[in-house]
Amino acid sequence: MSREEKCGLHKSRAENLCLYHRELICVGCKYDDRHKFCPQDYVAVIADIPPSDQDREGLYDVCRQLYDDVLDLEDGDFSQQEELKNKLNFLFGNFKSKINDLQTDTEKCVDETKLKCKRQYDNVKQDCSKVRIDIGKEMKELFENEQDLSEIGGKMALLRNIVDNKAKEKKACDPIHQLGLQLARVFDHAKVVTLWKEILSSEFIDSLFPPVSNPKFEHVKELDTSQGSPEVKITGCTVLLTGEIVLADNKNATVLIYTANGNFVSKIKVPFQPHDITKREGELCVTFPSRSQIGFISKSKITDAICTRGSCYGIEYGGGKLVVSCHLYGYKWLGSLCWQFRIYGTNNKLLQVVEKDRLGEWLYMSYGYFDFCPFRDQIVFLSTDGKAYQLYLTGPSRLQTLGELGSRNGEKLTALRSSGSTVITCHTESTGPIPFLASETSVLRLQGPIPSSGCEKIFENKCAGAIHFDVRSRILVVCENRGSKYVYVLKF
């Protein structure tokens, strides 16, 4: 071997040979980041690198890989334990008066889990340190002695078994996994129900979506929905987190996009006539009733689609769930249609189908539209004949009095949209002595834990179409009626 008098890092006089990197090192190299984790059983610089025969080289590669695996096992981070505990303390601080025992048990689980995992990990780390030293000794043997390679290979096989077992033990030291098992025992059904009710009846939801102070509707703009088309039929709308407004034009099979101020941005041509639209992470979800399909738009193109049972109309997304209303069958001439709600999760997997109320009766309703509240895990369906259903995904039930929400004498609740504690409703009233000749006037009201007086917007025409708003940007979109071209943008 041609020997260099100087190392490659510091250009100083070389004294040893690194077993891991197989390169000359000086005194300073031992403390450099490149070599500080290498085996400490150094070989003198006068030693020869072993002949590069296939068996010896293969065994050397095994030593090196095993050494890397041991270093990975010794590297562990348990700093996340305090972060987990702080998050739990913040959550339970809102309900400490009624669920103090649950908080105590949970904190106890966190502390016990941390102690248990740390004890297990210390044992793994100590054993790995011994194995690492043994591997270094065997690597040194490969350089200095003409020892039987089969003997070294046998030792490495035994050390590999130890490292594999320690890798399994380290997985068991995962604090998140262990904490999950402990909390599963603490959070029994009765305690979870208590916590769930306490959250919904407290100000926790309001802290996520605070109520609007001094609310007032301000008209921003009436959207120009024609965009070169003589006839337009807007059947669905949504507001993105950026404040952009998205409309579904059923007549022209297009999706229209506007700024928060109502300025036109672009339009996306879709293959079929859309009915409703909603936003999901990074994409738009559109229903195509004539094809019984849900289309997913990303970067102005349909990237995926799923089929539904029956014609799909309304669509909403929240809390990781995509909820779609589908018309199955019924008797239109009697004014009754049978509906079902299909709930999809991640990867568009069908999670649940709701088609009956708690009494086992099918959902026969006239055409309408619905709202999905992910915080309360419930669907509210408002039909055009004035009937209202409230369906909990954990067990559907009928609600009889929802139509009276904020209404006055003679008014009918025709639209509702909620987000946290902020609720905007639309009420329509017929005016005139003769019912079939009477005109209809609509009024929008913002309702919630704050007084809604003075927060009304009156429309001369019926606006029982789709409405949507975003509490972050305070943008409200109102369609005059389902199938009309008139769309208004308001701020509140």
Same domain, 97 and 63: yes
The DSSP string of 284-322 is EEEEEGGGTEEEEEETTEEEEEEE-SSEEEEEEEETTEE
Q: What per-residue confidence (pLDDT) applies to 452? A: 47
Do residues 463 and 481 lie in contact, with contact meaning Cβ atoms separated by under 8 Å? yes
Q: What per-residue confidence (pLDDT) applies to 77? A: 65
Q: What per-residue confidence (pLDDT) applies to 453? A: 46
What is the share, in percent, of the chain residues with pLDDT greater than 70? 72
Average pLDDT, the chain: 77
Q: Note the pTM of the prediction, 2 decimals.
A: 0.57
Q: What per-residue confidence (pLDDT) applies to 200? A: 52
User: At 20, is the pLDDT very low, low, confident or very high (cuts 50, 70, 90)?
Assistant: confident
The predicted-structure confidence for 33-84, as pLDDT tens digits, reads as follows 788 788 877 777 655 555 566 777 778 888 888 888 888 777 766 666 666 6
Same domain, 165 and 230: no
Q: What per-residue confidence (pLDDT) applies to 448? A: 61
Residue 270 lies in a domain: yes
What is the number of structural domains in the chain? Answer: 2
Q: What's the CA dihedral at 215, 490, 488, 255 to 10 degrees? A: -120
Domain that holds residue 95: 50-202
> Whole-angstrom Cα distance, residue 112 to residue 119?
11
Residue 280: CB atoms within 10 A of its CB come to 15
Same domain, 371 and 270: yes
Domain end, chosen from 170, 202, 234, is at 202
| CATH code of the domain in which 270 resides | 2.130.10.10
The predicted-structure confidence for 331-342, as pLDDT tens digits, reads as follows 545 556 788 899
Read off the pLDDT of each residue in 267-281 and give the average, rounded to a whole number.
92
Same domain, 391 and 247: yes
The predicted-structure confidence for 129-182, as pLDDT tens digits, reads as follows 888 888 888 888 887 776 677 788 888 888 888 888 888 887 777 777 677 666
Same domain, 344 and 271: yes
The predicted-structure confidence for 451-492, as pLDDT tens digits, reads as follows 444 577 887 666 667 888 887 778 889 888 766 788 889 888
Q: What per-residue confidence (pLDDT) applies to 480? A: 80
Residue 466 lies in a domain: yes
Same domain, 161 and 231: no
Same domain, 336 and 413: yes
Domain end, chosen from 202, 233, 249, is at 202
Domain end, chosen from 147, 171, 202, is at 202
Question: 489: which residues sit within 8 A by CB, 6+ positions away?
Answer: 219, 220, 221, 222, 223, 245, 258, 260, 261, 262, 475, 476, 477
Residue 207 lies in a domain: no
Same domain, 331 and 410: yes
Residue 487 lies in a domain: yes
Do residues 339 and 353 lie in contact, with contact meaning Cβ atoms separated by under 8 Å? no
> Whole-angstrom Cα distance, residue 359 to residue 396?
9
Residue 18 lies in a domain: no
Same domain, 198 and 223: no
Q: Which residue from 269, 278, 256, 252 is spatially nearest to 369, judged by alpha carbons?
A: 278
Residue 1 lies in a domain: no
Same domain, 274 and 303: yes
